[in-house]
Structure 1
Amino acid sequence: MTGSVNWQQALSRYVAAAPSQPPKQHAQETAAEIGTGQQPRADSAHRSHTSIPRFYTKRTPKESPLSQKLERATYARFVQSRRSSLPSNDELDYLWETLLEATAEGGSDEERRIDFVEFQQIQQLVPKKFQSFFAPSIFLQLLQGAEAETIAIVQFFNYVLRKVSLLQARIELGVYDLDCDTYLNEEDIQAYVADLMPALNLETLSSSFHKFYLCTASRKFSFFLDPMRRGKIKIQTILLSPILTELFELREPELPKDFERTNWFSSYSSLRVYGQFLNLDTDRNGMLSREELSNYNGGSLTSVFLDRVFQECQTYGGEMDYRGFLDFVLAMENVQTPESMAYFFRALDINGEGYLDGPTVMFFFKAVVDKMTAMGHESIGIRDVKNEIFDMANPKVDSRISLDDLVRSGVGGTIIKVLSDVEGFWAYESRESFEPQK
């Protein structure tokens, strides 16, 4: 790891690496350093402020266009100053070379270590932009074990890379926070991704497809990071999410084929999903009817389940638009995640009581059995499978499976597939032994 390094690529790789400090703590520090739009703290002199929550916040008066322009110009200068305060690629390169020179006799890069005295000596050799990274508290955080007295230079450098990457991302996301409330809506995220696209490995996408790509990309952020559908996502939440890391991975100039197939933001994935939508949209009206969606995944989903999906999801004239289809695909392809389980649990909870009882489980699985027998397969004991599902879910309350039970069980995604998808049941039934999902 000697010589000049492409830090733009290195930063994106290190964002995904396990940090020495918990990622949440990194992002919280970053938000604290750059965050804007926070409510002022209550006056500590008034005891009521510490005991009575604030129920009303005075609405900010609508500003004049000139005032808004002045505010944006001021914020733009602030962002530029923050950008200039971060280490450049050359400066990161210089930091690494300095670490190597200070440990010239320490063996391989991974084996080289420094104690606190050497840590302070290196601080005097690097640009002032790095001074905050040489705080004694950071050295203590990176010590591994109570008896440790040294830290690995690779470990420290990874810490710097990750922190710089988080700061860069926080600054860039903040540019799209037009009202400075530390939240981004879906349009803001699309604008951010649009400006990022030239730096991503997306050369195979035609310009006519860009608007569909932006919708596809932003929808993953909304689906997983805004489960309550508030219409906005806190910037700190975006920073903490692996979804942003997944997007940044497209900065790599060469993408392996298997990578393209698993990364939601790749050209291959976005074209695949859009192609699915076009193939299902047989009447070419830009929407999917209940009948058209029944052909998804080769027609393996039951009619009962699809009916409930259309009853619970937002439709327009009884049909699903592309954004709704993206939510459906994200839920189907990530069924093991809590967000996807919540999406499908609303469809399975036919009584709206917050749990699935025995009759509900048998109702949905009977539709799976009916579809299997119609295809010429032998019937399955519905009650036996119902009992097996309850054993798998192990609900806290007997005979009632809640969403929390599904998530906690580690097999919630499989249970959902068994109750909705013929192929999902076959995949489960064909396994000799079942292992909880990770």
Structure 2
Amino acid sequence: MATANFSVDRADAGAAQDSPTTTTRAWGMTGLVLFLYVVNYADKAVLGIVAQPLAHDLGLDHAQIGLVGSLFFVTFTVGGFLAGPLARYLTLRWALLALAAAWSLVMLPLVIAASLTVLIVSRMLLGLAEGPGSALMHTATYSWHPPAKRGLPSALLLGSASIAKIALAPILTFVTIQFGWRAAIVALSGLGMVWVVCWLIGWKDGPFTGKAVETVAVATSSDGVSALAHTELSVPWRRIFLSRTFVSIAVLAMVMYALTTVVLTWLPSYFEQGLGYTRLQAGSMFAAPSIVALFLMVTSGSVTDQLIQRGATSRLVRVIVPCTGVLLCGAVLAALPLIEIPVLAVVVLSIGYGCGMIALPLVSAAISELCPPQQTAGTMGVFMALAAIGGLVAPYATGVIVDNAATAGDGYALTFQGIGILGALAAILVLVFANPERDRELIRTKA
């Protein structure tokens, strides 16, 4: 079988992207997506913030709260596989608007009729609606940035989780203490609807979507043959999903996502029950690991983008660099059970979490390199869904470990230690098998 010409002539698009007006607009559009990601992660994080008062009102134990957290990620994983179909049948504008509206509404029944059943159903519906969101938000962001410049946008996008915890967690904690956990949920619902209005007014698709690339190619060509030469043909999905880069990075992402879900579900409880801080202190300190993570993600994203533009390989900056961070994360978290000073435990956890989190934006950018533009949403959807598998087990397992540990603090520390060790093993797997440049060529040229 003859090899098709998969090269993409993006010189015009690249030149336009480098103009001051287009660059400003690109970052303006990126800001809208970042706003949505903040809302998205605040919806995830609110369970951790209200976990203790909610458990008190409903009479729940640690395992039940952990089960709620894990069930969220069951439907979140299923929803991730819907990103491709949504991108195929809807524009990014309407797909993300529909998802955000759903996020704002599905938790409200809990405010009216609080019970364990309603909590589980509402969180599972939230997970189903949020599942496609990560992939579509990445696709929307990538539509305004060429592949060589996606490290920083990816870092900012995933760093929005940190922004949510830095900016909103203390506010939501205060609202919960002063007005109750129901008020915190209503406030988040209102914030989601504010974003819907901003999105309707401001969003436009960028020049690096699959549809945009095809439109440019047809517009600049006088016949069908030369138009085909300017566009990338779709490749069989199995080539992408069975590549060594995709499989090994997906395993690493599962472990790092497990760490993220444990932090989202249990970190305030760890600070309160395990380290002895007050509820207000615990909610405010929820942001501590996120501050470290945000700084390291933005720094690594910016630096690695510059390295790629200067000729560094994708394997170096989007495989070796993030894996080094995860190895440091594993070493630091492995020592957590040995630390008895609360302040030092917070510092160690923050450093370990921050080092591990630099991996997610960089490996996400590596995954986006494997596929043609029109398959980005589907590829990222499956990748995010597989990563979310880590969230299926980790919150519930943490609750069980805490319930059976000598003390709550011991249970939380052992959980973080175990995730750190698994992360280090996964990083070694990626270092051995992942090579984006090699697998990108194999995917496009394999007979």
TM-score, structure 1 length as denominator?
Answer: 0.24
Instruction: Identify which of structures 1 and 2 has the higher relative contact order when contacts are C-alpha pairs closer than 8 Å and 6+ apart.
Output: 2
Relative to its length, the structure with more helix (as a share) is: 2
Q: TM-score, normalised by structure 2?
A: 0.24
